[in-house]
Amino acid sequence: AGLHDTSTAELAVALALASGRHLDWFARDQAQGRWNQRPGRSLADQRVLIVGYGHVGAAIEAHLRGFEVASVTRVSRRARSGPPPVHPFGDLPALLPEADVVFVAAPHTPQTEGLFGARHLGLLPDGALLVNVARGKLVDTPALLAELSAGRITAALDVTDPEPLPADHPLWHAPGVLISPHVGGAS
C-alpha cells in the first residue's frame, strides 16, 4: 500500500488537465502543422468528486490543492465522519449530479464492478469529466460509449475494459475520450 499513490494521483490530475485543456487535440494538430484554437476548461472552480478515498484518492486531493477547485467531495466503501468527511457509495446518486469532475480510484471488488453503469453515468451533469485510474471494470464500457457518443460527458481513462484495449475497439475513436495505457503507477 502506498507504493504508487503519488504516481497514480499525478497521472489522474494530468489526465484531467490534458482532457480539459484539449492537449490531446493540440498534439494531433501539432503533428499535422495545424493551428486550431479550442477553448478549454480549467480545474479551477470545478466541483470534484473522488470515488475511492483510500491512499490514491487522498493523494489525488493533495495534488488538486494548487488548482483552486471549488470543492472536493469524497466517497468510499463506508462513511467516515472525518476530518475530512467521507460519504458511502450509497450516496453517489445524490452526489453525481453535483460533480463536474469525477476521479475514480476505488478498488475492483464485487461492490464496485460496474459502479459506473448507465444509471450513474446518466446522473452526471452535461459536460462532466470522468477520470478512471482505478480498474476498467468499475466503468461499464458500453454505457460509457453511449454517453461519449451523445457528447454529454467526456472521459480520461488510464484503465479500460477490456484491457489491453483491442486496436479495433470503438472506445479508441469515441468523441471526448483521452486514453493512456494503464501507466498510472509506472514512473
> Which residues are the active-site residues?
182
Burial 54-88 (b: 16+ CB within 10 A, else e): bbbbbbbbebbeeeebeebbbbbbeeeeeeeebbe
- Which residues does 77 contact at the CB level (< 8 Å), separation at least 6? 88, 89, 106, 109, 111
54: closest CA among 96, 120, 104?
104
Residue 17 DSSP SS3:
helix
Contact 161, 134 (CB under 8 A): no
34, burial (CB in 10 Å: exposed 0-12, middle 13-18, buried 19+) = exposed
> Phi and psi for 121 in degrees, rounded to 5?
-65, -35
